[in-house]
């Protein structure tokens, strides 16, 4: 198994934090949730950052902190936010410095998973419409990943097993 970090990418609600935490446990690696890192390092919640400083500032912090995490010597599991792929430099850095796993889910699955989450500033208003629009805007931006894993119908254990098989072969 490679000694590179594993970065989980994918649209919101695809299971990056859940799968990442479990994978880290199984591999005995540190788990880092990029959104949580942003909150702890800026001292503001994500909705507050969006409200007070805007999405551009948030994306700037996201890229800066992602870069810092990827530069750490010890391999770890990093779950990114759904929009971490928006900047080409982030995509390039992830692909070069880690094994990138893209978690996917059908639109209906995502809507079901995120509908009640008030901590997602990009989903204010009509959740179905916002998910549909954001998925369309981001189509293709996750395609640089080394492996793509659909999360709609498998358990966290099954998803981790699939990722571990890939990691052992590469």
Tell whether residue 118 is among the known ligand binding residues: no
Tell whether residue 133 is among the known ligand binding residues: no
Tell whether residue 53 is among the known ligand binding residues: no
Tell whether residue 13 is among the known ligand binding residues: yes
Tell whether residue 28 is among the known ligand binding residues: no
Tell whether residue 18 is among the known ligand binding residues: yes
Tell whether residue 14 is among the known ligand binding residues: yes
Tell whether residue 64 is among the known ligand binding residues: no
Reference 115, options 100, 102, 130, 103; nearest CA is 130
Place of tokens 């995120």: 114
| 3-class SS string, the chain | CCCCEEEEECCCCCCHHHHHHHHHHHHCCEEEEHHHHHHHHHCCCHHHHHHHHHHHHHHHHHHHHHHHHHHCCCCEEEECCHHHHCCHHHHHHHHHHEEEEEEECCHHHHHHHHCCCCCCHHHCCCHHHHHHHHHHHHCCCCCCCCEEEECCCCCHHHHHHHHHHHHHHC
Tell whether residue 45 is among the known ligand binding residues: no
CA distance 105 to 90: 22
Tell whether residue 92 is among the known ligand binding residues: no
Tell whether residue 140 is among the known ligand binding residues: no
Q: Which residues are annotated as a binding site for Mg(2+)?
A: 17
Q: Which residues are annotated as a binding site for substrate?
A: 35, 59, 82, 138
Q: Which residues are annotated as a binding site for ATP?
A: 13-18, 120
Q: Which residues are annotated as a binding site?
A: 13-18, 35, 59, 82, 120, 138
């Amino acid at each position: 198994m490679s000694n590179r970090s594993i970065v989980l990418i994918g649209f919101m609600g695809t299971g990056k934090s859940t799968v990442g935490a479990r994978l880290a446990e199984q591999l005995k690696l540190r788990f880092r949730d990029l959104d949580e890192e942003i909150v702890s390092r800026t001292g503001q919640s994500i909705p507050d950052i969006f409200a007070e400083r805007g999405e551009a500032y948030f994306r700037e912090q996201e890229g800066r902190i992602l870069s810092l995490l990827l530069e750490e010597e010890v391999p770890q599991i990093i779950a990114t936010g759904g929009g971490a792929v928006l900047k080409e430099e982030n995509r390039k850095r992830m692909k070069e410095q880690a094994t990138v796993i893209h978690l996917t889910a059908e639109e209906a699955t995502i809507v079901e998973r995120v509908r009640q989450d008030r901590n997602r500033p990009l989903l204010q208003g009509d959740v179905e419409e916002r998910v549909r629009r954001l998925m369309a805007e981001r189509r293709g931006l996750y395609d640089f990943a080394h492996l793509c894993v659909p999360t709609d119908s498998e358990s966290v254990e099954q998803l981790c097993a699939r990722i571990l098989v890939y990691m052992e072969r590469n």
